[in-house]
């Protein structure tokens, strides 16, 4: 049975779409601290990718991870992104013979049946307009033995985030609503027809300065900030400004991640 949601998902997705339409020039700065190579290695350890294979980075944004994949695998990589502004910035990245870009959405993939070896989504799933349809599309386009890899957060990881606990508590219910939990993924992907399901959790020690978080807030570098109320924004800003004034000492910001793995 689907989880009962308190958030208006249509409103969330519209706010999210508007966010990505104007955040493009500052998008990368909010993700510089992420460890990118880990996900390439996780996928390579599970799926053999040869020179004729295609890897899809669905919801590729400005192409940070698409470029990382292309530099580290022998196959071809396509970054698929619905936002024209994001896609334009991605196309400014250094050209590679195995790296391509296209505008499109996960719910209607521009591929023939059994075309892809790997589909990867990084913090994209909660933005999809129709998650069930996207899951069926991924299954349709994957070759037998191919894999769907979804980088996201579990609910346990969200509840442990320092920024959501102490700086932006207003956002915790929203995040728990819009992010499917592990059991939700298992149910949805099994219903779509994937033959196996597993997941891996990871945590890497990391710290950020309160001034960095304050800048992320002011720049709305993360889509969740677009859903803060004026009061929540002011309260979060006040808490961060107090920490900056007290010395701007680094605060714990572990890199929590959940990797969902579903094979065809």
Query: pLDDT tens digit string along 50-86?
Result: 999 999 999 998 898 999 999 999 999 999 999 888 8
User: Residue 93: which of 63, 121, 72 has the closest Cα?
Assistant: 63
**Which of these, 158, 160, 175, lies nearest to 232 by C-alpha position?**
175
The single-letter DSSP state of residue 192 is H
Q: Is 228 helix (H, G, I), strand (E, B) or coil?
A: coil
- Angstrom distances, CA of residue 253 to CA of 38, 186, 217, 243: 18, 28, 15, 15
Give CA–CA dist 156/3, Å, rounded: 16
> Angle between the 210-219 and 230-245 helix axes, to the nearest 10 degrees?
150
Residue 1: its pLDDT value, please? 40
* Cα separations in angstroms, 18 against 12, 85, 126, 155: 10, 11, 15, 25
Helices and strands counted in the chain (H then E): 11, 9
pLDDT for 203-254, tens place per residue? 888 899 999 999 889 887 787 888 889 999 999 999 999 999 999 999 998 8
* Residue 120 · residue 55 · CB < 8 Å: yes
pLDDT, one tens digit per residue, over 143-179 is 999 999 999 999 999 999 999 999 999 999 989 999 9
Please give the domain boundaries of the chain with CATH numbers for all domains: 9-161+175-205+255-263 (3.40.50.150)
* 251-252 and 207-208 strand pairing: antiparallel
Q: pLDDT higher for 18 or 169?
A: 169
């Amino acid at each position: 049975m689907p989880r009962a949601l308190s958030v208006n998902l249509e409103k969330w997705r519209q706010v999210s779409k508007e966010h990505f339409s104007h955040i493009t020039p500052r998008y990368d700065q909010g993700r510089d601290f992420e460890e990118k190579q880990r996900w390439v290695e996780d996928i390579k350890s599970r799926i053999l990718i040869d020179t004729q294979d295609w890897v899809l980075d669905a919801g590729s944004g400005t192409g940070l991870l698409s470029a990382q994949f292309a530099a580290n695998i022998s196959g071809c990589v396509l970054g698929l992104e619905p936002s024209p502004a994001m896609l334009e910035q991605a196309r400014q990245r250094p050209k590679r013979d195995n790296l391509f870009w296209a505008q499109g959405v996960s719910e209607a993939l521009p591929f023939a049946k059994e075309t892809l070896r790997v589909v990867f989504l990084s913090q994209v799933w909660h933005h999809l307009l129709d998650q069930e349809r996207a899951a069926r599309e991924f299954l349709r386009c994957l070759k037998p033995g191919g894999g769907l890899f979804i980088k996201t957060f579990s609910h346990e990881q969200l509840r442990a985030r320092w920024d959501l606990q102490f700086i932006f508590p207003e956002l915790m219910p929203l995040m728990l609503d819009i992010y499917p939990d592990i059991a939700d993924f298992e149910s949805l992907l099994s219903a779509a027809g994937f033959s196996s399901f597993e997941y891996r959790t990871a945590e890497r020690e990391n710290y950020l300065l309160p001034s960095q978080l304050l800048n992320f807030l002011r720049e709305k570098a993360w889509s969740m900030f677009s859903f803060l109320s004026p009061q929540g924004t002011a309260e979060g800003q006040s808490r961060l400004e107090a920490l900056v004034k007290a010395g701007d000492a680094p605060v714990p910001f572990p890199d929590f991640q959940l990797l969902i793995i579903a094979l065809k």
